[in-house]
Amino acid sequence: MRNLRRALVSAVVAALAVIGAASPAQAATNIAWGSFPQVSAEDRISVTTTPNVVSSSKIRVCLETAANVTWWKAIRFRGWNDQVLSERFTQDADHGPNCMTGNIPDIKQLELWKAKFLGHPTHMYTLTANRLWKKDRALVLFSWVQDT
């Protein structure tokens, strides 16, 4: 019986590996400020902006999640040479807000990530640098309120 269970578990793990390898990688969606709050059929993220919180050419970004949203979520500033400049996340009972401040000229894009199948971190949405300039000097709070 124990060998049968091991064989079954091995078969399921192998099948999942094949499915994962065969599935095309999901490309992140480029979004605009007008995309919020219903950024996709599965995600609802509200945005609150408070102007004149940080100095010129900077942006402060915070992430929080609703009490029923417990899987890992993250925000990242990515630089022009594709390095991660800063990252904040929420997970389980940590609902934030978790904040970071960036120098807009150094930021290529702001990325929103979430855990998907088997908890795999997945880059879901991107706000490009030209969109970040529209929030120069502001505090931007992303509230991830739905994840289905």
Question: Bigger pLDDT: 128 or 19?
Answer: 128
> What is the reported pTM?
0.83
Closest CA to 110 of 137, 71, 84, 147: 84
Q: Who's near 18: CB < 8 A, 6+ residues apart?
A: none
Among 24-28, 108-112, 120-124, 126-130, the minimum mean pLDDT is found in 24-28
Taking the C-alpha atoms of residue 75 and residue 97, their distance in angstroms, rounded to an integer, is: 11
Q: Where are the domains of the chain?
A: 28-147
